[in-house]
Amino acid sequence: MNTTPTILVLGATGSIGYAVMANLLARKLPVTILVRNRAKAEALFPNQPTLTLVEGDVQDAALLNRIAADKDFIFHGINYPYNKWFGNMDTATQKIINAAGPRKNSTIILPGNVYNFGNTAEPIREDSTPNPCTRKGQLRVEIEAMLEQAANAGKCRVMNVRLPDFWGPNVLNEGVKPIFENALNGKALPWIVNVDIPHQSVYTKDAAEIIVRLLLRDWAMQTQLTSAGKAYEVWNYGGTTVPSIRSWFGEISALTGKPLTVQVYSRFMIHLLGLFMPVLREVKEMLYLYENTILLDDQKVRTLFPDFSPTPMKQALTETLTWFSEHELKRPFASVTTGVSSVIV
């Protein structure tokens, strides 16, 4: 057995995949990525001696099987726009299972979410019973069932790391990108339905740290010939719960030195925009996530890693504003709290 794990990261240029990649590369671990856009990947991960870049699509089963054949871990960070989930998320997952299968001991790491549990008032535990209230929630239940069945059949091993919605460098979805770009430009910060209730979310660097720690723990257990853990195991990481999005927006605005203004998109507005925008049409059924406080109970992973603590909010926001300013707006960012330009290391 190798002394260092071999890792394939799928979705490396996406929101959570980027953060996982940054963590793995900082540890100088050998990583292979499969990307559709080579130029984008090279710009995000320049001059990385432990990185192998393969251009292609996860839906290309022959290619995926070839590059996954010798990998100990496969990070399943594949995601599609909401309106393209059906027929893509499920087929991609099955192809990843098939690619992991021949080795019998490859571990698939899935960044899960809270969609499986619908509008629940109780904190979601690792053993909570799924109760989706949306089509996309039902699809996530089916995807997790596919992975669990494959693991129990001995085709692979699976770690399902459930997360709330996330934000951070290179999180470019339409729910997050406008927040940080608007904050930098002094425009209104957008949110959906309700900005005045507690909301749980995770800074992607913290989620990546948890994921990589779990990966390395799993690898150590395998190489030390101790119990390799369950074939299918779930871990929750909930990140941070802010008192309200309005207060969180206030923290962001304080760092930019620009006045706080908030733009709330009502249910009616989402419905209206959805008539013309397919992605927003799919957002309609997910509005319960913004009208209610949905929480993950992550005591299990925090007990496992008692030395872990989330990045301080001010630091995390500064790093995120710096990334968006430099990469998206092409200008340096100077936090008003320091008066010094920030640089991401």
* 251-279 tens-digit pLDDT: 999 999 999 999 999 999 999 988 888 88
Neighbours of 28 (CB within 10 A): 11
pLDDT score, position 335: 84
pLDDT at 344 exceeding the cut of 50: no
Averaged pLDDT score across all residues of the chain: 93
pLDDT at 213 exceeding the cut of 90: yes
State pLDDT tens for residues 286-306: 999 999 999 999 999 999 999
What tokens appear for 65 in the block? Answer: 């099987």
pLDDT score, position 278: 87
Please, what are the domains in the chain? Answer: 7-166+201-236 (3.40.50.720), 168-199+240-293+311-338 (3.90.25)
Residue 309 Ramachandran class (φ > 0 left, ψ -120 to 50 alpha, else beta)? beta
pLDDT at 63 exceeding the cut of 90: yes
Rg of the Cα atoms in the chain? 20
What tokens appear for 262 in the block? Answer: 């908030």
pLDDT score, position 223: 80
Neighbours of 161 (CB within 10 A): 22
Give the pLDDT mean for 91-117: 91
pLDDT at 137 exceeding the cut of 70: yes
Alpha helices in the chain (DSSP H): 15-26, 38-44, 61-68, 89-100, 135-152, 177-185, 204-223, 245-256, 267-274, 278-283, 288-291, 299-304, 313-323
pLDDT score, position 339: 46
